[in-house]
Copies of this chain bind each other. A is one copy, B any other.
Amino acid sequence: MQNMERKRADRIADDLEGLIFDGTFADGERLDEVQLASRFSVSRTPIREALQRLAQSGLVEQIPRRGVFVRQPGPVELIEMFEVMAELEAVCAKLAATRISDEALEDLQSTNKRCMATVEASDTDGYYRENQHFHAILYRQSGNRFLEQECLRLQRRLQPFRRIQLRVRGRLKQSMAEHEAIVEAIKEADGEKAATAIRQHVSVQGEKFHHLMASLTIAAE
């Protein structure tokens, strides 16, 4: 297992990430090192470490001798990231179709069942959790740990925007139908079919595009 002990800087980075995700820090806003230092009751050193981590993951932009600024992705970049996410997941599905283990396939189906239950119960948080697990299984079953890591990284980055999407009326039901198609394709070991199904599931097109844009203007106000 991974080392659980983490330094303060790491926890601060996670906290800051959360604060950026939930909109506490607006787009373009400068993150003052001394202010954050007093806020977290630490010196500038761990703050700077945390900011550098965020800069590398793309959440903030670090301009030399100027400071770091929150950098929320714009509409174009978001579409681009979702496009890449869709393609990466499609690769996972393609590979998983032939590489998946029997136990994992069981897990995939039971997760999907639990997912459906949360839809019936209108349990958005529950859906969110089970859905994430559903996708995580596919990443893992691609049999490519590096690919899995890349998927998790991008998923994490898109997390807040995906969550917004879930609020769209009827989205959950449609999403479940798509899950169903993915599971079917994988059961048939049809890689291309699975890839197409999950690409459809993840990519932002049609109505989803419209809703994503709408959510952005809301978030920007």
Q: Contact: B6 with A64, CB < 8 Å?
A: yes
New A-B contacts (8) at CB < 8 Å, excluding given A53-B56, A77-B146, A80-B145: A3-B64, A5-B64, A48-B49, A83-B146, A84-B144, A84-B146, A87-B87, A87-B88
Q: Contact: A147 with B52, CB < 8 Å?
A: no
Q: CA A150 – CA B81 in complex, angstroms?
A: 10
Q: Contact: B5 with A84, CB < 8 Å?
A: no
A: residues with CB less than 8 A from B are 3, 5-7, 48-49, 52-53, 56-57, 63-65, 76-77, 80-81, 83-84, 87-88, 91, 144-147, 150
Knowing A5-B65, A6-B64, A64-B6, the reply to whether A83 touches B53 (Cβ < 8 A) is no
- Chain B contacts for A84, CB-based, 8 A: 91, 144, 146-147, 150
Shortest Cβ distance from A184 into chain B, in angstroms?
23
Q: Contact: A91 with B80, CB < 8 Å?
A: no
Closest B residue by C-beta to A78: B146
Closest B residue by C-beta to A66: B3
Q: Contact: A145 with B77, CB < 8 Å?
A: yes
Q: CA A87 – CA B56 in complex, angstroms?
A: 23
Q: CA A88 – CA B89 in complex, angstroms?
A: 11
Residue from B65, B80, B145 in contact with A147 in the complex, judged by beta carbons closer than 8 Å: B80
- Chain B contacts for A76, CB-based, 8 A: 145
Q: CA A150 – CA B52 in complex, angstroms?
A: 19
Q: CA A6 – CA B63 in complex, angstroms?
A: 9
Shortest Cβ distance from A66 into chain B, in angstroms?
9
Q: CA A109 – CA B83 in complex, angstroms?
A: 27
- Chain B contacts for A147, CB-based, 8 A: 80, 83-84, 87
Q: CA A77 – CA B149 in complex, angstroms?
A: 12
Shortest Cβ distance from A26 into chain B, in angstroms?
22
Q: 12 A-B residue contacts at CB 8 Å? A: A3-B63, A3-B64, A5-B64, A7-B64, A53-B56, A56-B56, A77-B146, A83-B144, A84-B91, A87-B87, A87-B88, A87-B91
